[in-house]
């Protein structure tokens, strides 16, 4: 039994961490706490998704926010203009993001290293610029949700509550997927690609397929999260849906916690959000929030490139089996 | 027809200025395989350098451009040793993030000092006739300065000892080290030259357009597009890439709404990355 628990220790730890963040505002019953927890869980879900591509496969997507934005737009459009319900809209957001990732994957995953990173930036900017001109989605002014929509979910207050439960569910789902990938044969193939793509192909990993599916997996949940977040916000516009900065913040979170591990992005996302909240309210650092985050990132990249979990694994060989 | 020629000339003039920013980006990529994500922040610093030297100290903007160039060179060397040198041989992600961290620090400090209100360098020099086109003199001078800088860089790389070192390291860093090229200094110098070009480009843009501390971001994206058009690692290609982009920007509004320009630019960018990763003028791999 203990061996069993040990075997899946990092899964239990990860799930427990997410549940803890999720249950805390339910216990305190404070709406402000709930909003904070929502932001943290959103960050955990996005970072853990990106980790499947960046951490396991070693492909640096700088424009990953494109899936979040697209899912957000598709979901929002279906709810506001087509009268779909939230569940179906979230599903549609995820499918739209997955489909885009599949099509893109066929094309741009041929590129390696920095060329791939640049292409993902280009894709994000192209989609953002396109939506800016796309009238059905409201062009540059975006769309606003009719307040009546929330009535279907028992009024705005309970719609917010419902959104919070959904984000907990989505975050738990990402972690299950992430853990499954990390421990499956498919995931081993991805890790092999990360270490040496040509060697992996020689050993029988069908790299183009594996990479494409990793890309799709890492895109679906951000699409669903996007649909949920913009439903909750009640408004969407290109600048809010496709901020390149958010993409990079996702990478920073992964680096902070440790890329290529299940637990890392969770710790990184929670840690980063907590720090940012603290800096934003502190009168001394409020204005320098961005600069301090930058300095922190630089220190991590230069001195602790494996992140917190990677550092723990290296420092204490005994926990290596527990923390993956 | 006149409108067409006018737009073409306008685009060409801007293209030279965009071109040298992209030259900086692609020089750094060519020498050390680093995509410098602090490029936009440095362009913005170049803008503010001219602005402050002109409005606070009353120095002529074109003298300020020279001072900005020197500051840019030194600043780049400092950035290289602090942020890049340690991770120069690590996977791309490290250098991408390290330079992005520098970007965050500059923009963070910059926004807290200058806020994000728009500024401009109040410089009025009238306009000149170029064939059928009437262009603001500032734009013409900016283009001429950009051509001078590009030419100077070309001569520097071709005929001076440090320039030859840079080309040697670009070709093969290990081999260059074996024959005694001091590679750390050469890399630092190249990074400095790259940021110098960004700063000069920003300084010239400031004499033409209004700007904020965040403006650098969009010019950085333009530099990516141009760099890829001309071939990453090919500084001369960048200059031509700049001309192409400048003309796309000035010709597209004649046939469709201006807001479609970025769509075209970025689609072109991704397509070229896929089809001709060595740029329009590059050979096969």
Q: Which residues of B touch A113 (CB under 8 A)?
A: 91-92
* Interface size, chain A vs chain B, as Cβ–Cβ contacts under 8 Å: 122
Per DSSP bridges, beta strands A235-236 and B127-130 are: unpaired
Q: Which residues of A touch B93 (CB under 8 A)?
A: 54, 60, 251
pLDDT digits over B150-205, tens only?
A: 999 999 999 999 999 999 998 888 899 898 888 899 999 999 999 999 999 999 99
| Residue B256 resides in a domain | no
Q: Which residues of A touch B107 (CB under 8 A)?
A: 290-291
Give CA–CA dist B260/B217, Å, rounded: 19
| Residue B283 resides in a domain | no
pLDDT digits over B213-261, tens only?
A: 998 888 998 999 998 888 887 888 888 889 989 888 888 888 888 888 8
Backbone angles phi, psi at B132, to 5 degrees: -80, -10
Give CA–CA dist B147/A213, Å, rounded: 47
Check if the beta carbon of residue A40 is closer than 8 Å to that of residue A270: yes
The answer to which of A104-118, B7-21, B56-70, B271-285 has the lowest mean pLDDT is B271-285
* Residue B82: DSSP 8-state: I
Q: Which residues of A touch B259 (CB under 8 A)?
A: 129, 132-133, 140
Check if the beta carbon of residue B38 is closer than 8 Å to that of residue B245: no
Give Cβ neighbours of residue B174 (< 8 Å, ≥ 6 apart). none
Give CA–CA dist A152/A216, Å, rounded: 32
CB contact under 8 A, A126 and B267: yes
Q: How confident is the model at residue B42 (pLDDT cuts 50, 70, 90)?
A: very high
Give Cβ neighbours of residue B254 (< 8 Å, ≥ 6 apart). B3, B4, B7
Contacts with A, B 163-182, CB within 8 Å = none
Give CA–CA dist B7/B12, Å, rounded: 9
| Residue B229 resides in a domain | no
**Is A129 within 8 Å of chain B by CB?**
yes
**Min Cα–Cα distance to chain A from B232, Å:** 10
Strand partners, B128: B135
Which of A111, A129, A290 minimises the CB distance to B262? A129
Q: According to the model, what pLDDT value does residue B155 have? A: 92
Range A152-156 average pLDDT: 84
The answer to which of A2-16, A306-320, B49-63, B103-117 has the lowest mean pLDDT is A2-16
Range A136-140 average pLDDT: 89
Question: Under CATH, which architecture does the A7-321 domain have?
Answer: Orthogonal Bundle (1.10)
Q: How confident is the model at residue A146 (pLDDT cuts 50, 70, 90)?
A: confident
pLDDT digits over B65-91, tens only?
A: 999 999 999 999 999 999 999 999 888
Q: What percentage of chain A reaches a pLDDT higher than 70?
A: 98
Q: According to the model, what pLDDT value does residue B115 have? A: 85
Give Cβ neighbours of residue B148 (< 8 Å, ≥ 6 apart). none
pTM beyond 0.90: the answer is no
Q: How confident is the model at residue B285 (pLDDT cuts 50, 70, 90)?
A: very low
Q: According to the model, what pLDDT value does residue A283 have? A: 76
Q: How many domains does chain B have?
A: 1
3-state secondary structure of A236: strand
Per-residue pLDDT for B208 more than 80? yes
A234: closest CA among A86, A130, A124, A26? Answer: A86
Determine which helix (DSSP H) or strand (DSSP E) holds A144, and give its type and residue range: strand A143-144
| Residue B87 resides in a domain | yes
Residue A4: count other Cβ atoms within 10 Å of its Cβ: 8
Task: Determine the residue of chain A that is closest to B258 in CA distance.
Answer: A133
Contacts with B, A 174-203, CB within 8 Å = none
Per-residue pLDDT for B206 more than 70? yes
Q: How confident is the model at residue A4 (pLDDT cuts 50, 70, 90)?
A: low
| Residue B276 resides in a domain | no
Taking the CA atoms of B101, B107, B108 and B109 in sequence, report the sign of the dihedral they define: positive
Out of A113-122, A285-294, B36-45, the most confident range is B36-45
Work out the mean pLDDT of chain A and round it to a whole number: 89
Q: Where are the alpha helices (DSSP H) in chain B?
A: 2-32, 39-57, 61-79, 92-114, 137-159, 161-171, 173-178, 183-206, 216-230, 235-255, 261-275
Give CA–CA dist A280/B112, Å, rounded: 13
Q: Read off the tokens for A110.
A: 């041929």
Q: Which residue has the higher pLDDT, A280 or B51?
A: B51
| Residue B93 resides in a domain | yes
**Min Cα–Cα distance to chain B from A283, Å:** 13
Task: Determine the residue of chain B that is closest to A294 in CA distance.
Answer: B101
CB contact under 8 A, B112 and A252: no
Determine which helix (DSSP H) or strand (DSSP E) holds A143, and give its type and residue range: strand A143-144
Structural domain of B67: 2-216
| Residue B272 resides in a domain | no
Q: According to the model, what pLDDT value does residue A65 have? A: 95
Q: Read off the tokens for B27.
A: 């020089």
> For the stretch B25-64, what's the b/e string if a residue is b when 16 or more beta carbons lie within 10 angstroms of its beta carbon?
bbbbbbbbbbbbbbbbbbbbbbbbbbbbbbeeeebebbeb
Give CA–CA dist A177/A155, Å, rounded: 33
pLDDT digits over A70-92, tens only?
A: 999 999 999 998 889 999 999 99
pLDDT digits over B98-115, tens only?
A: 999 999 999 999 998 988
Range B265-279 average pLDDT: 86
pLDDT digits over A185-221, tens only?
A: 998 899 999 888 889 888 888 888 899 999 999 999 9
Q: Where are the alpha helices (DSSP H) in chain A?
A: 2-7, 9-28, 31-51, 65-82, 86-108, 114-132, 155-183, 185-195, 197-202, 207-233, 238-241, 244-257, 263-281, 289-303, 307-315
Give CA–CA dist B104/B118, Å, rounded: 20
């Amino acid at each position: 039994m203990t061996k069993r628990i040990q075997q899946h220790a990092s899964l239990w730890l990860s799930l427990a961490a997410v549940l803890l963040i999720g249950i805390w505002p339910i216990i305190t019953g404070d709406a402000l706490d709930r909003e904070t927890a929502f932001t943290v869980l959103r960050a955990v879900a996005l970072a853990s998704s990106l980790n499947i591509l960046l951490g396991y496969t070693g492909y640096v997507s700088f424009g990953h926010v494109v899936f979040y934005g697209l899912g957000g737009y598709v979901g929002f459009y279906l709810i506001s203009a087509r009268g779909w319900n939230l569940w179906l809209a979230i599903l549609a957001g995820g499918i739209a993001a997955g489909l885009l990732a599949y099509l893109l994957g066929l094309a741009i995953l041929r590129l390696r290293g920095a060329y791939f990173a640049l292409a993902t930036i280009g894709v994000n900017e192209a989609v953002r610029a396109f939506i800016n001109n796309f009238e059905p989605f409201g062009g540059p002014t975006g769309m606003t949700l009719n307040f009546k929509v929330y009535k279907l979910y028992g009024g705005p207050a309970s719609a917010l509550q419902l959104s919070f439960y959904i984000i907990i569910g989505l975050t738990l789902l990402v972690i299950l997927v992430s853990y499954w990938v990390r421990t499956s044969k498919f995931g081993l193939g991805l890790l092999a690609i990360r270490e040496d793509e040509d060697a992996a192909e020689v050993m029988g990993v069908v790299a183009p397929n594996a990479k494409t599916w990793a890309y799709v997996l890492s895109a679906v949940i951000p699409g669903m999260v996007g649909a949920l977040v913009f439903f909750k916000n009640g408004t969407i516009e290109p600048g809010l849906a496709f901020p390149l900065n958010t993409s990079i913040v996702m990478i920073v979170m992964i680096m902070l916690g440790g890329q290529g591990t299940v637990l890392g992005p969770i710790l990184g996302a929670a840690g980063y959000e907590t720090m940012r909240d603290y800096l934003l309210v502190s009168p001394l650092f409020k204005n320098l929030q961005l600069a301090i985050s930058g300095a922190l990132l630089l220190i991590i990249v230069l001195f602790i490139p494996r992140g917190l979990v990677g550092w723990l694994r290296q420092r204490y060989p005994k926990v290596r089996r527990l923390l993956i | 027809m006149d409108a067409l020629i006018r737009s073409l000339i306008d685009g060409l003039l801007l293209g030279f200025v965009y071109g040298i920013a992209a030259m900086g980006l692609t020089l750094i990529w060519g020498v050390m395989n680093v995509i410098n994500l602090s490029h936009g922040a440095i362009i913005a610093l170049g803008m503010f350098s001219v602005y402050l030297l002109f409005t606070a100290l009353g120095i002529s903007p074109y003298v300020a451009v020279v001072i900005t160039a020197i500051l840019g060179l030194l600043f780049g060397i400092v950035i290289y040793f602090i942020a890049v040198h340690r991770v120069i041989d690590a996977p791309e992600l490290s250098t991408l993030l390290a330079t992005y961290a520098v970007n965050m620090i500059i923009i963070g400090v910059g926004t807290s000092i200058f806020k994000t209100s728009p500024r401009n360098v109040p410089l009025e020099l009238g306009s000149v006739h170029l064939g059928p086109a009437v262009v603001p003199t500032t734009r013409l001078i900016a283009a001429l300065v950009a051509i001078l800088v590009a030419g100077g860089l070309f001569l520097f790389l071709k005929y001076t000892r440090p320039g030859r070192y840079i080309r040697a390291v670009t070709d093969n860093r290990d081999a260059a080290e074996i024959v005694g090229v001091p590679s750390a200094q050469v890399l630092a110098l190249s990074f400095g030259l790259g940021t110098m070009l960004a700063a000069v480009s920003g300084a010239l843009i400031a004499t033409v357009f209004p700007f904020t501390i965040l403006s650098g971001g969009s010019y950085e994206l333009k530099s990516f597009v141009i760099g890829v058009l001309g071939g990453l690692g090919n500084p001369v290609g960048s200059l031509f890439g700049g001309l192409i982009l400048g003309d796309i920007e000035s010709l597209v509004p004649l046939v469709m709404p201006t807001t479609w320009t970025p769509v075209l630019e970025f689609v072109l960018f991704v397509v070229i990355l896929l089809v001709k990763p060595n740029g329009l003028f590059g050979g096969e791999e």
